[in-house]
Amino acid sequence: MSEFFKALVSEWQDFWFLAGRAFANIFRSPHYWDDVALQMEAIGVGSLPIVILTGFFSGFVLAMQMSRALNTYGATGQVGPIVMITLVRELGPVLTALLVAGRNASGIASELGSMKVSEQIDAMRALGTDPIQKLVTPRLIATCVMLPQLTIVADFVGMVGGFAISYFSLRMTASQYWTPAYQILEFNDFVQGLLKPFIFAIVISLVGCFYGMKTSGGTQGVGRATTQAVVVASVWVFVLTAFITRIFVNL
Amino acid sequence: MSAGAERVAQAGTVLEFDRVDLSFDVKVLDQVSFRVEPGETRVILGAAGSGKSVLLKAAIGLLRVDAGRVVLMGQDITRLEEKDLVAVRANVGVLFQEGGLFDSLTVGDNVAYPLENQQVRGAVPAEEVQRRVTEALRFVELEQTMDQYPAELSGGMRRRVGIARAVVTEPPLVLYDSPTAGLDPITANTIMALIAKERDAKGAASIIVTHRYQDGQIMADFRYNSERGGLIPAAADPSSAPRTIFMVMREGRIVFEGDKASLEASRDAYVRNFVRR
């Protein structure tokens, strides 16, 4: 039992150590901007199709479900604002983060894990490069830049999905849907809608890198690291969204 | 003379282990002490898990030792910080077990990596990098693979590219971690010939971890023939013979240290496992 807690504390400590070094490296040269750009492409552009698809259908389904409930009160006109609030505050950031966790935390963990087990990380150190500077920091920066942007795309496409239902099925006009939806948004919504993906980005990239860098035990170990990275990153997305929402609801 | 070689000349010893202990869950290095002089070849034999690879990693500070002292190029690296270690490591070439090549970079970029990334070296001009990479790849006879990726090469070729990357900076010490593991005997001999060539052409000290006795035998008994290429028996010119010392490890301890003759004369049952006649 005590061994288990010891391992847990030691892992927690290692994670913060990695996080600290990764952040400190942002302000330290050398900077590997080529790697940052490559990662931005892999994480941002690469995730775009799936984020658009998922965003559209989440708005689409949300509008369908809500219209049925709102119909009971004769308030189908409120479907725009409801879809908007739900997407911007919660669903947009969380769904996008989960997709990126599934796609990129796993990708990062397996890439770094393979490098670890084939001694490429040791080689990097032996040849004079700090692997955290070269591998972790670029992924951290790239995810922090791309995830908020992907979330904005998901929010917008989700709204379009909601509009499709409102227009074709509820027979609303464009201004009936978009005007109240736009008016309901407050500054507070923007802040939490963009703060969340930023924090999720830190967690997703660092968790992916952490499990990748501590991989051991050959190909099997790479598989294990990948799974752990996705599970842990996803759980943290849910836990953190609950915390952040709790803070903002009271503001 | 390079800066690294100068420092070695002053220090006299390339690498020194002084009562080094290192353990993970079990002890992997137990009171390990030895010294490697400039130009010397040291062959480390031992069963799998006897601590050979760990010893190499501890030698360049990739692993921290729990007790004792590691002195590399005259500098005590035992408590050195990672950023200071980088400068000392620039004097050492390393061939990792599976080559340790970066599979996202081409062969040429892999070999250029130490030249472009070791900051102690200062910025090496692009033409100079190109020239030295070509030279290093020619050394291992793989010039034509410059633009290929490591995954496209055979195991033996990857090992040769790994050697090119290890020696491109002309370090005074080169570490080889199981250079012949998993290779057929013919390829293995080609690799050992390259290692002997590096030793005899550049005069670098070498530490070779292996479980093949023949690898050590090649290093002890043969010299690289610079006129005609290939290896020739050292007996033809004994004066040119660099020192070759054998070390046998067992469960983290050095159980034997000495030259080839005394290794072959050893009566220890464990040591005799590694000697084939």
Q: Report whether the peptide linkage leading into residue A30 is cis, meaning its omega lies within 30 degrees of zero.
A: yes
Give SS3 for B249: strand
Over pLDDT 70: what percentage of chain B? 91
Decide if B80 is inside a domain. Answer: no
Interface mutation target, options A3, A6, A127, A130, chain B, most CBs of B under 10 Å? A127
Over pLDDT 90: what percentage of chain A? 76
* Mean pLDDT to the nearest integer, B113-126: 78
Residues A123, B94: C-beta atoms closer than 8 Å: yes
pLDDT tens-digit readout, B25-39: 888 899 999 999 888
* Mean pLDDT to the nearest integer, B236-243: 63
Residues A128, B89: C-beta atoms closer than 8 Å: yes
pLDDT of res. B269:
87
Nearest-by-CA chain A residue for B60: A126
Only one residue has tokens 């003759």, namely B261
- Residue from B4, B67, B75 nearest B33 by CA: B67
Decide if B39 is inside a domain. Answer: no
- Alpha-carbon distance B219 to nearest alpha carbon in chain A (angstroms): 25
Residues B102, A122: C-beta atoms closer than 8 Å: no
Does the structure show a pLDDT above 80 at B226?
no
Residues B96, A124: C-beta atoms closer than 8 Å: no
Decide if B102 is inside a domain. Answer: yes
Tokens for B96, please give them.
Answer: 């990792």
Q: How many CA atoms lie within 13 A of A45 on its CB side?
A: 6
pLDDT of res. A65:
92
CB-nearest to A128 from B57, B103, B118 is: B118
CB-nearest to A123 from B82, B96, B118 is: B96
pLDDT of res. B242:
66
Does the structure show a pLDDT above 70 at B5?
no
pLDDT of res. A223:
94
C-alpha to C-alpha distance for A109 and A207, rounded to whole angstroms = 8
Residues A128, B100: C-beta atoms closer than 8 Å: no
Beta bridge partners, B23, equal B27
* Mean pLDDT to the nearest integer, B220-229: 81
C-alpha to C-alpha distance for B13 and B35, rounded to whole angstroms = 7
pLDDT tens-digit readout, A56-109: 999 999 999 999 889 889 888 889 999 999 999 999 999 999 999 999 999 999
pLDDT of res. B182:
84
Interface mutation target, options B111, B115, B117, chain A, most CBs of A under 10 Å? B117
CB neighbourhood size of A43 (10 A): 25
- Residue B156 belongs to domain spanning: 98-170
Decide if B8 is inside a domain. Answer: no
- Residue from B138, B141, B132, B140 nearest B114 by CA: B132
- Alpha-carbon distance A146 to nearest alpha carbon in chain B (angstroms): 23
pLDDT of res. B212:
87
Mean pLDDT of chain B: 86
Decide if B69 is inside a domain. Answer: no
C-alpha to C-alpha distance for B120 and B103, rounded to whole angstroms = 25
Sheet of B41-46, strand order: B92-95, B173-177, B205-210, B41-46, B244-250, B253-258
Give the total number of structural domains in chain B.
Answer: 1
Check residue B96 and report its DSSP letter.
B
Residues B101, A122: C-beta atoms closer than 8 Å: no
Higher pLDDT residue, A63 or B224?
A: A63
For residue B90, list chain A residues with Cβ-Cβ distance below 8 A.
Answer: 128
Residues in chain B whose beta carbon is closer than 8 A to a beta carbon of chain A?
57, 60, 62, 82-83, 86, 89-90, 92, 94, 96-98, 100-103, 113-114, 117-120, 165
Residues A127, B98: C-beta atoms closer than 8 Å: no
- Residue from A240, A210, A199, A233 nearest A17 by CA: A210
Task: Provide the number of CB pairs (under 8 Å) joining chain A to chain B.
Answer: 51
pLDDT tens-digit readout, A182-232: 999 989 899 999 999 999 999 999 999 999 999 988 889 999 999 999 999
pLDDT of res. B277:
54
Does the structure show a pLDDT above 80 at B188?
yes
Does the structure show a pLDDT above 60 at B2?
no
pLDDT of res. B174:
94
Decide if B234 is inside a domain. Answer: no
Only one residue has tokens 């369908």, namely A64
Q: How much is the ipTM here? A: 0.83
pLDDT of res. B231:
81
Decide if B122 is inside a domain. Answer: yes
* Mean pLDDT to the nearest integer, B45-72: 90
* Mean pLDDT to the nearest integer, B227-237: 74
C-alpha to C-alpha distance for A129 and B31, rounded to whole angstroms = 30
- The confidence band for B1, taking pLDDT boundaries of 50, 70 and 90, is very low
Nearest-by-CA chain B residue for A129: B117
pLDDT of res. B49:
82
Decide if B131 is inside a domain. Answer: yes
